[in-house]
Copies of this chain bind each other. A is one copy, B any other.
């Protein structure tokens, strides 16, 4: 990466000039002009199709975007990532989520020590732990089988395992049932414990430092609940295991086993590690291995596919194109799959915490917009809630549609009609966003419906769709653990590429610190008793009102 200001680099200036030329081009025309547009702008690899033909790009756009990637040395950074270099510069750490799914024969050194054997050992412990559940011989302190597992963790220690177990729930083992508690709000744990009994419940406490406030408080509450229902403290400790890099602290807390985390795995990239334990418990260790295999396949694709046929790099460049040249501040992900209902929340963390930064890795302001807001809800539901704005609202919102060709294995309510309806809607929405409906088309429809001239004139402006709204469709053959692994790794590498393009360190998160500091200052003042005013007037006013409300005034 040159140390020129990004927006003054040759590749950037070329894109800027090009954008001015094609900003008004209509996708509908581009499709009419080029019958090969789909073939030209889609990339298939291993059961996953990336169709980016409905983006506002031409062959020239893609060439210029790839020139930007070359200027930013994406290939060089990619090599550094996979080699285990300390590319997380502000925290002086390697970034090795890819090591967690590397081929067993690989060798990746951190500080001269190969991490692959450690990974293999941790995987073997996960295997034997989860298999003990699925063989049915995992029992609690009083001898009852463990039927329920509650995962306590937040952020990266929650969203990944939660999203994956929800996505693949149709293939969950009958036992144990796995639930997730993240929020420090007592309502979250209370609700998760409904119907559970201490003697048959195991808690997994997940925190790299074992000091995360929410997780520590929830773990303490869980321990109180266990102690109230089990013979003694030792028995309670048998019902808690930890996933942590701070085994000493976990053992002080009282746990029956510790699964290792490492400082070279960031929370939002950690579901491939021991953080994935609830996945292995819910779905079986083989499913977890398939998930890893899928991610490994995407790693391989990312490493070896030519730039023009590289799925993660393509997604990254398209995202940058809309953020930086079209001014799009948000990006929607709409999975046409109820099973993927938490994928948007998962990706929201992955993208926004990684690249929601305005200072580059050299400490200089990034001169262009970085990560947009990623948001979304599953289709078809989203059509009945937010697509009004996507079609006719004022902000430009690029959309990723995620569709699955074959649905989950069936049951008695199964029929192809609903699956076809689901897929047809996914295809139709992206087509509608792309082509829109012209005033002439809308007028012809209204007249065909028999409306008189006055009614046509009144309704017409509301029936026009401007179109030219870009989207990408990611089509999976089926939602298997393997494909899900590919899909997640696709976005991980997209995020990595965008970080390189913007010259960000995607792997720190300093922006979470200030709020924590202030919370520690404010929390004591929620307790009653006199105190000196020392916050801003809003915080003081809110504290006073909270006190009044709590005292029923």
Contacts and interface: CB of A to CB of B under 8 A. Distances in A.
Interface string A345-388: 10011001100111100011010111111010111110111111
A39 interface: yes
Given A186-B407, A370-B394, A371-B393, 20 more contacts: A37-B538, A53-B541, A154-B381, A183-B381, A185-B336, A185-B339, A186-B410, A225-B413, A359-B462, A384-B512, A387-B511, A403-B546, A420-B526, A428-B518, A429-B515, A429-B519, A434-B536, A434-B538, A465-B514, A473-B538
Given A386-B353, A542-B51, A358 B186 contact: no
A158 interface: yes
B373 A389 contact: yes
Contacts of A356: 386, 388-390, 392-394
Given A338-B183, A386-B356, A542-B427, A514 B155 contact: no
Given A465-B514, A549-B477, A170 B190 contact: yes
A535 interface: yes
The 5 lowest CB-CB distance pairs between A and B, nearest first, are A356-B389, A155-B384, A356-B393, A38-B541, A405-B549
A202 to B, nearest CB: 16
Given A190-B170, A385-B353, A462-B363, A185 B337 contact: yes
Nearest to A358: B394
Contact of A538 (B31, B393, B518, B541): B31
Among A371, A375, A435, max chain B CB count under 10 A is at A375
A352 B54 CA distance: 23
Contacts of A466: 358
Interface string A408-422: 101111110111111
A380 B154 contact: yes
A425 B187 contact: no
Interface residues of A, number: 167
Nearest to A226: B413
B424 A522 contact: yes
Contacts of A169: 191
Interface stretch (A41-49, A69-77, A281-289, A308-316): A41-49
Nearest to A52: B538
A80 interface: no
B375 A375 contact: yes
A538 B373 contact: no
Given A214-B421, A424-B519, A537 B38 contact: yes
Contacts of A184: 380, 418, 421-422, 425
Given A53-B541, A373-B375, A461 B183 contact: no
B222 A413 contact: yes
A522 B427 contact: yes
A424 B39 contact: no
A412 B329 CA distance: 45
Number of copies: 2
Given A393-B357, A432-B518, A538-B37, A526 B378 contact: no
A549 B427 contact: no
Contact of A510 (B427, B463, B526): B463
A348 B513 CA distance: 29
- Tell which of A155, A187, A430 has the most Cβ of chain B within 10 Å: A187
Contacts of A550: 405-406
A462 to B, nearest CB: 5
A87 to B, nearest CB: 15
B154 A546 contact: no
A8 interface: no
A144 to B, nearest CB: 19
A389 B191 contact: no
20 contacts: A34-B537, A47-B549, A51-B541, A90-B458, A154-B381, A156-B384, A185-B378, A185-B422, A186-B418, A330-B373, A352-B388, A353-B389, A356-B390, A356-B394, A358-B392, A363-B460, A383-B515, A391-B514, A473-B542, A475-B542
B352 A508 contact: no
A537 B37 contact: yes
Interface in A81-128: 89-90
A213 interface: yes
Contacts of A170: 187, 190-191
Contacts of A381: 154-155, 158, 182-183
Contact of A388 (B159, B385, B509): B509
Contact of A461 (B349, B364, B397, B541): B364
